[in-house]
């Protein structure tokens, strides 16, 4: 069985996108792991399936390289919005995820803005394993004073003097899997460069270190604003590029940034047995 895909990225956060609206592929977790592998498969941070939706223009399913499913991915949402816009000719779209329906707007030939919804701050909405002050968590994995919230998936942000010096591969995994987070957690390390500018590096649950994470950028801006460290509108500088985040008065967080298609291709799924 052969399947076509589009390899895309948003600020370096890269995806293999499969259109499964007419022909479901039924990929298994082992197949997803191999397809996402940069040596044995296509190579991507997440594998994205576009599926039918009764509530929006399409449903977007997000699978991590370890086979787990993510609730939200802002960069992938922007990529899928660009594909759907090219297909329909419309600039305003709605994309359903397991975290809800996300409106998206095409701003230019390689730029998309998406409404990521409102962050949730209650301990049981993130979720945490027990009631805690989500703005000031106890020490985790050798890091202190993290702030947690949900952007459709759980996030913790640590504000550090120098995000560049953080060894993500060492400190990310134990925090991701700390018992405090029953659904695991995305781990961000942020350094404030100015009230409206932040440097952010991220260890994503199920994916590891990625060059950008849109929902983590939204979470970091909301957490920084809650802490009084910065404004509600920031440019977030990540390893793969810069995202513009705005936390509006109605509670919704909007994210704008670049979208690029790297290449299109076709893969023989028979080479990747379930």
- Give me the active site residues, please: 73, 213
Residues 79, 10: contact at Cβ < 8 Å? yes
The DSSP output letter for 140 is B
Question: Which residue carries 């919230």 as its tokens?
Answer: 149
Distance between CA atoms of residues 8 and 129, nearest Å: 36
Four-CA torsion 167, 168, 170, 172, nearest 10 degrees: 150
Residues 254, 214: contact at Cβ < 8 Å? no
Question: Which residue carries 């993510």 as its tokens?
Answer: 70
Q: Give 132's contacts (C-beta < 8 A, 6+ positions apart).
A: 123, 138, 180
For residue 1, give both structure tokens.
Answer: 């069985």
Distance between CA atoms of residues 204 and 176, nearest Å: 8
Q: Give 225's contacts (C-beta < 8 A, 6+ positions apart).
A: 231, 232, 247
Question: Which residue carries 């600020």 as its tokens?
Answer: 11
């Amino acid at each position: 069985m052969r399947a076509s895909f589009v390899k895309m990225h948003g600020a370096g956060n890269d995806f293999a996108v499969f259109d499964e609206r007419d022909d479901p592929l039924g990929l298994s977790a082992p197949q997803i792991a191999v397809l996402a592998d940069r040596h044995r498969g296509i190579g991507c941070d997440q594998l994205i399936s576009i599926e039918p939706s009764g509530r929006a223009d399409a449903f977007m399913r997000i699978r991590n390289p370890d086979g787990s499913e993510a609730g939200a991915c802002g960069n992938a949402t922007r990529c899928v919005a660009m594909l759907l816009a090219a297909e329909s000719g419309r600039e305003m779209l709605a994309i359903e995820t397991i975290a809800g329906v996300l409106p998206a707007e095409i701003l230019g030939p390689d730029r998309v803005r998406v409404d990521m919804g409102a962050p949730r701050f209650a301990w049981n909405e993130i979720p945490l394993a027990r009631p805690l002050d989500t703005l000031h968590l106890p020490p985790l994995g050798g890091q202190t004073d993290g702030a947690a919230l949900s952007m459709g998936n759980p996030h913790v942000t640590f504000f550090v003097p120098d995000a560049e010096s953080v060894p993500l591969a060492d400190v990310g995994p134990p925090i991701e899997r700390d018992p405090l987070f029953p659904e695991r957690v995305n781990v961000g390390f942020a350094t404030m460069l100015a009230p409206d500018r932040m440097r952010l590096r991220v260890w994503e649950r199920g994916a590891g270190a990625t060059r950008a994470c849109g929902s983590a950028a939204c979470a970091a801006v909301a957490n920084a604003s809650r802490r009084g460290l910065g404004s509600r509108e920031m440019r977030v500088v990540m390893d793969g590029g810069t995202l513009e985040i705005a936390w509006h008065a109605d509670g919704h967080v909007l994210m704008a940034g670049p979208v690029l298609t790297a290449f299109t291709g076709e893969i023989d799924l028979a080479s990747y047995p379930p």
